[in-house]
Structure 1
Amino acid sequence: MSLFVDEVVVEVKAGRGGNGKVAFRREAHVEFGGPFGGNGGNGGNIYFVGDEGKNTLIDLKYNRHIRAQHGANGEIKGMHGANAEHTYVRVPLGTIVYDEKNNLIGEVLYHGQELLVAKGGKGGRGNIAFATNKNQAPDFAEQGDPGQTFRAKVELQVLADVGLLGYPSVGKSTLISSISNAKAKIAPYPFTTLSPQLGMVRVDEDEFVVADLPGLIEYAHLGVGLGIQFLKHVERCRVLLHIVSMESEDPYKDYLTINNELVQYDEALKDRVQIVVANKMDTEDAEEKLKEFESKLNGIKVFPISALNREGLMALKYEIIRVLKTIPKFEPKQITKVYEFNENKDSDFVITKGDDGIFDITGEKVFILFNRTDFNNESAVKRFARQLRGIGIDEALREAGVQNGDIVRIFSYEFEYLE
């Protein structure tokens, strides 16, 4: 039996773009030479791909560093470097991905669905791309952009059509074993189900996926018992099969307590469609308890069953099919953050002065320009200085009080400021 893992943190590192090439055309019998260095290839992206055959994140637990390949460097004779192949990681349906600031990246709900988790860096341009009428022989090129690197929080919320809801030992495991192909562990003690069990149920030409989830108890929304582990999986079930045991001393109290836990965890769950099931109808006084239970539900239909004796199951399955046909499937949550550098961003840079008297320049656009510059190439460094002036850094430094001879630092590059 494989270990169930529904939350893991992994480091994702997309591929870096290849560097552009500085080269010149010098061939016999060629009248005109000129720049002839090709562009670098783009770095590989990292995608998560939905796989309906998986039901746990255990693969990520033992592979916490996911890296994509780098783009190839540009070459002479104007040859561009190859784009790197993308990296695809197969994950179970219901996988949700957040960045290290807990911003939602996206989620995977369908088999074969591809979710872009980390974007590869753009390839740098070779010197052939910088040739102009004014500068017909540029002797510099761009370096490739780094790929996105961060720690991603990956969470699994079991994706099922029907979730079994109720106290421990109300017969959820017995029911899923009776109506589906799932082989759940069954025993007469609390918390038998320690992790979600999925089963496929077929009714004539229709089918649905049912999930037996960890048992719920009072104060589960505060983390008591296996509460949080249960409740986060409930969110992804289209229909809740609320099972109440007729063996209980007070079935109606159990029913109210469980519903209260749902609302305390997420108020939106109060509107989730429920089918109420009275299980263990084979026990003593079950009929009397059922009548009393139904009288308190204000007309809510109750389906009496005995999961152990397989009684009343066909009527219940037909009702589930009928209800499911009226409820649309979940759509992916909206992505709240798009992982792309914005080269036209209004706030290009930030200038701060440290206790050591050094002026630090940071910012997203400066970061892009910095990483594209080959600081071993004098022409590239001069171009970098022109780019900084172009976005207003010189003027901003003067406003910040910089003086001749002060040290200015841009990430790992330091220089002396001179008017």
Structure 2
Amino acid sequence: MSRFIDRVVLHVSAGKGGNGCASVHREKFKPLGGPDGGNGGRGGDVVLEVDSSVHTLLDFHFHPRAKATNGRQGEGGNREGGNGSDLVLKVPDGTVVLGTGGEILADMIGTGTRYVAAQGGRGGLGNAALSSKARKAPGFALLGEEGVERDLVLELKSVADVGLVGFPSAGKSSLVSVLSAAKPKIADYPFTTLQPNLGVVSSGDTTFTVADVPGLIPGASDGRGLGLDFLRHLERCAVLAHVVDCATLEPGRDPVSDVDALEAELAAYKPALTGDAGLGDLADRPRIVILNKADVPDAADLAEMVTPDFEQRGWPVFTISAVSREGLRPLTFALAKMVQEYREAHPPAAPKRQVIRPIAVDETGFSIIADPENPGGFIVRGTRPERWIRQTAFDNDEAVGYLADRLARLGVEDELVKMGAEPGCSVTIGDVSFEWEPQTPAGVDITRTGRGTDARLDQVDRIGAAERKHAHRVRRGLEAADPEDQ
């Protein structure tokens, strides 16, 4: 049995950018060939795309994680690494992409509409791109950045022309089954329908879709019954049809009170997509009243009595029987006319073009605050410092020296001095903490040493944390003063 899934949580992970390559050109009779390490490739994006052949979110229910491929590492000979392949996920028309906080990220209407759900990481620069007048042959390269990882909520709002609304067992599923080729479950107990059923109806030259929304009850807009889960499927319906059970034997119920109760729920429901597709709120949608079960004698008499009450509201009223198919032909023509009028007033939705509106960000800025968990320590925050930390290979002294130069040029060193940072204090940038050494000259001419090394990192005479820890354990008699004596 097929399942209808209209809400899923999707974990998307974009691809990681490839690392840059640290390489020096080597060729016979050509010494000092210079750096020729290529850049790493970009990580693949995770993209959502509307496909007309997809009608449910069932695939994401069983496979809730999606990951794009990583970019390839750069190579020598100035060869750049290949970009990771984008992962394109097909979603049905009418899918709304929400963040974990409930904010709307994308409203995907129209075949071909695309949304980049997670952006791939940038590839790291190779040493050929890092060479300069002061650093002619870098012995390091930058690391690729991690791709974006995030959780998204996908909601499917059925794109149907006519939405059937009514109390449980009002005959909505039966009406869909006789108007179209759909075969929904039909039984004589409430809440038979647990998922929306869509049927395609043809009337003359007009073809439209009808959605059977699971039975609503008073309080549905507050979460009672099944209404809250399925009221959103009415947000894009052009016409709302009240299916009224004229043969109900429940005390206190009659066609007028049933419609009034449902109208109150429709008015109380606040669509997540205000002004969705230009249709406005549910209270403003065209209405039609369908008085069902006219094959029962008492029901036919009751339908005749309440028809003037609905006509006074300006709503078309049709008395039908889904069992004997009485009155279906006029109803079908009326629905087709209302749908056609809507289509003439609202042209078909074209695929939405992705409009990128960059937010102005001053990447040159940074801030330094005291570390609340480490007395005397500091935390540096900023787009550039945090990115540079992610790009640095800390097992390479030359790469660490290059990082120090970048931070000095940005003004991080001077700001730490102004805030009273002491030598050896803890400084945290991103996920990395290190001991600050103001004596290490940064941003000055570099004494050339071997590739992958930086002479400035060997000029520190202050006792490091490891040595202080060793001396403390020696004083307590836990270790020998000379490690060779142990």
Structure 1 length as normaliser, TM-score? Answer: 0.91
Question: Residue 79 and residue 315 in structure 1: after superposition, are their counterparts in 2 closer, same or farther (change >3 A)?
Answer: same
Post-superposition Cα deviations, 1:43-75, rounded to whole Å, max 9, x if no partner, equal 111112323333332221221221111000000
Cα offsets for 1:208-236 (capped at 9, x unmatched)? 22211111000111111112112122223
Instruction: Label 1:131 to 1:213 Cα distance change in 2 as closer, same or farther (>3 A).
Output: same
**Deviation, structure 1 residue 400:** 4.1
- The equivalent of 1:261 in structure 2 is 265
| 1:282-310 per-position Cα deviation (integer Å, ceiling 9, x unaligned) | 22234443343232232322122222222
Residue deviations 1:206-265, cap 9 Å, x none? 322221111100011111111211212222323222212222441011111001101111
How many Å separate the matches in 2 of 1:342 and 1:142?
A: 26
CA distance in 1, matches of 2:361, 2:101: 22
Residue 186 of structure 1, CA deviation: 0.8
Aligned counterpart in structure 2 of residue 282 of structure 1, from 281, 292, 295: 295
Instruction: Report if aligned partners of 1:50, 1:112 keep a CA contact under 8 Å in 2.
Output: yes
Taking the aligned partners of 1:380 and 1:359, their CA distance within structure 2 comes to 22
Percent pairwise identity = 37
Using the TM superposition, name which of 90-99 and 169-178 deviates more: 90-99
- Say whether the 8 Å CA contact 1:50–1:93 is kept in structure 2: yes
Give the one of 234, 251, 258 matched to 2:255.
Answer: 251
Tell whether 2:341 aligns with 1:326: yes
Question: Partner residue of 1:312?
Answer: 327
Instruction: Give 1:362's aligned residue.
Output: 381
Cα distance in 1 between the residues matched to 2:182 and 2:430: 56
SS in 1 for 2:341: coil
Alpha-carbon offset, residue 341 of structure 1 = 9.8
Corresponding residue to 1:302 among 317, 322, 331: 317
Name the SS for the 1:296 alignment partner. Answer: helix
In the alignment, is the contact (CA less than 8 A) between 1:354 and 1:360 conserved in 2?
Answer: no
Alignment partner of 1:405 is 2:424 = yes
| RMSD after superposition | 2.7
Which fold has the larger relative contact order, with Cα–Cα distance below 8 Å and residues 6 or more apart in sequence? 1
Is 1:124 aligned with 2:142?
Answer: no
**Range 346-355 or range 105-114, more displaced:** 346-355
What's 2:90 paired with? 90
2:386 is the counterpart of 1:373:
no
1:150, distance to aligned residue in structure 2 (A): 1.5
User: How far 1:79 sits from its partner (Å)?
Assistant: 0.5
Q: Deviations over 1:255-280 (max 9, x none)?
A: 11001101111272111222222222
5+ residue gaps, structure 1 = none
For 1:417 and 1:293, the matched residues in 2 are separated by 84
Q: Do the aligned residues in 1 keep the contact of 2:113 with 2:351 (CA within 8 Å)?
A: no
C-alpha distance in 1 between matches for 2:436 and 2:246: 82
| Aligned-pair CA distance for 1:326 | 3.4
Q: Counterpart in 2 of 1:185? A: 185
Displacement of 1:350: 5.3
Q: Which has the higher strand share?
A: 1
When residues 187 and 144 of structure 1 are mapped into structure 2, their CA distance, relative to the original with a 3 A threshold, is same
Are the equivalent residues in 1 in contact too, given 2:364–2:384 (CA < 8 A)?
no
Aligned residues: 418
Question: Take 2:208 and 2:44, find their aligned partners in 1: how far apart are those partners?
Answer: 37
What is the CA–CA distance in structure 2 between the aligned matches of 1:391 and 1:75, rounded to whole Å?
30
Partner Cα distance (2:16, 2:35) in 1: 24
CA distance in 2, matches of 1:251, 1:137: 85
Unaligned runs of 5+ in 2: 272-280, 439-486
Amino acid at match of 1:314: R
The 1-side partners of 2:414 and 2:326 are apart by 82
| CA deviation vs aligned residue, 1:4-54 (integer Å, no higher than 9, x gap) | 222222221110011111111121244772110111111111112323333
Cα distance in 1, alignment partners of residues 164 and 340 from structure 2: 18
Provide Cα deviations, 1:122-177, integer angstroms capped at 9, x if missing partner.
11121222233444323332211111002222222222222111111111101111
Q: What displacement does 1:345 show?
A: 4.0
Between 1:244-253 and 1:357-366, the stretch displaced more is 357-366
> What one-letter code is carried by the residue in structure 1 that aligns with 2:326?
E
The answer to whether the 8 Å contact 1:103/1:336 transfers is no
Deviates more, 1:234-243 or 1:102-111: 102-111
Q: 1:26-65 alignment to 2 at 5 Å?
A: 26-30=26-30, 33-65=33-65
SS for the counterpart of 1:181 is coil
3-state DSSP class of the match of 1:255? helix
State how far apart, in whole Å, the 1-side matches of 2:306 and 2:70 are.
64
Distance 1:308 1:335 in 2: 48
Question: Are the equivalent residues in 2 in contact too, given 1:44–1:70 (CA < 8 A)?
Answer: yes
Matched-pair contact (CA < 8 Å) for 2:157–2:235: yes
Q: Structure 1 residues 366 and 269 mapped into 2: Cα distance closer, same or farther (>3 Å)? A: farther
> In the alignment, is the contact (CA less than 8 A) between 1:96 and 1:107 conserved in 2?
yes
Amino acid at match of 1:255: V
Describe the shift of the 1:291–1:65 C-alpha distance in structure 2 as closer, same or farther (beyond 3 A). same
In structure 1, how many angstroms separate the alpha carbons of the residues matched to 2:165 and 2:30?
79
Aligned counterparts of 1:399 and 1:317: Cα–Cα separation in 2:
79
CA 1:415–1:387: 2 relative to 1, 3 Å: same
Change (3 A) 1:70 1:402: same
- Greater mean alpha carbon deviation, residues 105-114 or residues 121-130: 105-114
Paired position in structure 1 for 2:7: 7
**Match of residue 230 from structure 2:** 230
| Greater mean deviation of Cα atoms: 40-49 or 351-360 | 351-360
Question: Under a length normalisation based on structure 2, what TM-score does the superposition of the two structures give?
Answer: 0.79
Q: Hey, what's the Cα distance between the residues in 1 that align with 2:168 and 2:220?
A: 12
